[in-house]
Amino acid sequence: MKAERYSLSLSVVALISAACTTQNETPEQIYSLHYDRPATFFEESLPLGNGQLGALVYGGIADEHISLNDITLWTGEPDLTPWTPDAWKHLAKVRELLDKEDYAAAEEANKKLEGHNSEIYQALGTLHLTNLNVGEVSDYERKLVLNDALAETSYTSAAGTLTRNAFVSAPDSVMVVKLTTTDEKGLQYRVALSTLLPHSYNVAGNALWTEGYAAYSTKPEAGKDEWFHYDENRGIHFRTELRVVAPEGCVNADSDTTLMISGCQEAMLVLTNVTSFNGPYKDPVKEGRDYRKAVAQRLDKAVAKSYEELLSVHQEDFKALFGRMTIDLGTTPDSIAALPTDQ
């Protein structure tokens, strides 16, 4: 459901609204989180997502990395075996111990009600954007415009002003990153993908992709060295693919694992990921979703559109949910609103 994709608790919205910048020059009240330096830690990054594909934007200068995740990338396989069919027989004992306030014994007795450890989520990977033409910078800003679910990073160097805008679209099921520069020599960017999961890389034309798979089983009780169990013929598989839309001649393979963007003043990166997860009761390899075909279909449709078209559809979809209500917490003085959010 759309509401689930973008839902925030009332308390979080209230806190964000109190800390946000108010721009009164437009009829719509604009809420944003804005900072004067790149994020260093996970908690400082700016989140984007559409309910399936998630991204954390750090706003780096020479080296930008955007952490990626997919809601269906979990360890494990369908497991229909009843591990504790007689669990109900021990429930009375647990209740008896709780009534006696013997919580330590109740906790131990409760283990007879539990099954084995559940499977776990695994991180998808990282998009790396390396700016090869940057020195000292000024006028740095990164922000998340909450009204549009749009992350923006900009700064000025001797070469000119560079901006990066990013959003994750629900209607098109892709992440879009737009790079622009005022430098007459154009952009100088190296683009790469990485993941900690077993994988392979491929580069062809203006496309870069990685394919891999999650662990088919996890056993935390076995110790760190035997925690994850991998087999290329088991577990949930995935494909992450990125395509660069730019003037002809601006995108080339820099190596077997990276793309180079050079000479153009504007480029659009379109990325998506699909896994073989096909429901909780289907084997993700033998009965899995055709994730390669789904990736191709998504990207073929998305790159046929302009950045403006993709952004407009994303904004219309998001605003229909974000704009359903407003909270008036009063007026923030301009001197306070101009400060970075963390100050």
pLDDT digits (tens, 9 = 90+) for 124-169: 999 999 999 888 999 999 999 999 999 999 999 988 999 999 999 9
Q: What is the pLDDT of residue 222?
A: 61
Report whether pLDDT(251) > 70.
yes
Q: What is the pLDDT of residue 115?
A: 77
171 and 311 in contact (C-beta within 8 Å)? no
Beta carbons within 8 Å of 71's beta carbon, 6+ residues apart: 51, 52, 53, 54
128 and 193 in contact (C-beta within 8 Å)? yes
Report whether pLDDT(12) > 50.
no
Q: What is the pLDDT of residue 215?
A: 96
243 and 261 in contact (C-beta within 8 Å)? no
Q: What's the whole-number mean pLDDT along residues 182-193?
A: 95
Report whether pLDDT(120) > 50.
yes
**CA angle 53-54-59, nearest 5°?**
135
Q: What's the whole-number mean pLDDT along residues 52-69?
A: 97
Residue count of the chain? 343
Half-sphere exposure of 113 (CA within 13 A, CB side): 13
Question: Which range scores top for mean pLDDT: 2-11, 38-47, 211-220?
Answer: 38-47
- Per the model's pLDDT, the better-predicted residue between 27 and 121 turns out to be 121
